[in-house]
Chains A and B, each alone.
Chain A
């Protein structure tokens, strides 16, 4: 059984640029959630995708968008990057939306300069 993987591991971008982060779900999981974890803080929910549709969203602006593909892998896109977007971005997969156990990937560390 393959766990949740994320790419890239680290990324450095300039303010105003756009970035795409990728996540592969654990085998058999059809739900993916994305979180932003700023340094010294707990993860904050960005959104969730279930069967290729957005299924819940946290308090993040529209420049944070996502996709889920038929194989349940997912992308997080952030446009017009700001310095405050620097954080660890975590992807978590689960089997169905009502499952309470989420399996997290190792994260992508994004630095915006």
Chain B
């Protein structure tokens, strides 16, 4: 079965510094990978996806993610963090057999001024 893991419950960075939120995946076949962000009392917002093609995927709000097949990772990155980036981030993988989106447990990102 497809799955993703987010090894860090919490990531803290200073404003202006680069940020990385980690995700590893386990899939059979080609992975369809996603990042979503959730702000308090709101639903999830789509950030970016990897289906095929370039390993570096660019998404919304200046975020990007690097697909690494050998390390089975799909880490979310941003060159310069903003305080407003503070939120809960979810990595997800799509299971094409069941039209099922499998989410990780989430990583809480806190950007301090």
Known: A41-B106, A42-B105. A97 touches B44 (CB 8 A): no
Which 9 residue pairs are nearest across A and B when measured between Cβ atoms? A42-B103, A56-B99, A104-B43, A104-B44, A45-B100, A56-B98, A48-B99, A106-B43, A43-B103
SS of B interface (majority):
strand
Q: What residues make up the interface of B, taking CB atoms closer than 8 Å to A?
A: 32, 34, 36, 41-46, 49, 51, 90, 92, 94, 98-106
> Whose C-beta in chain B lies nearest to the C-beta of A106?
B43
Q: What residues make up the interface of A, taking CB atoms closer than 8 Å to B?
A: 4, 33, 35, 40-45, 48, 55-58, 90, 92, 97, 100-107
Q: For A100, list chain B residues within 8 Å (CB).
A: 32, 34, 49, 51, 94
Give 18 pairs: A residue, B residue, CB < 8 Å, sorted on A.
A4-B43, A35-B101, A40-B105, A42-B106, A43-B44, A43-B103, A44-B103, A45-B98, A45-B102, A55-B99, A56-B98, A56-B99, A58-B100, A103-B46, A104-B36, A104-B44, A104-B45, A107-B43
In the complex, the answer to whether B104 meets A106 with C-beta atoms within 8 Å is no
CB distance from B30 to the nearest CB of A (A): 12
A59 to B45 alpha-carbon distance, docked (Å): 24
Known: A42-B103, A42-B104, A101-B46. A57 touches B94 (CB 8 A): no
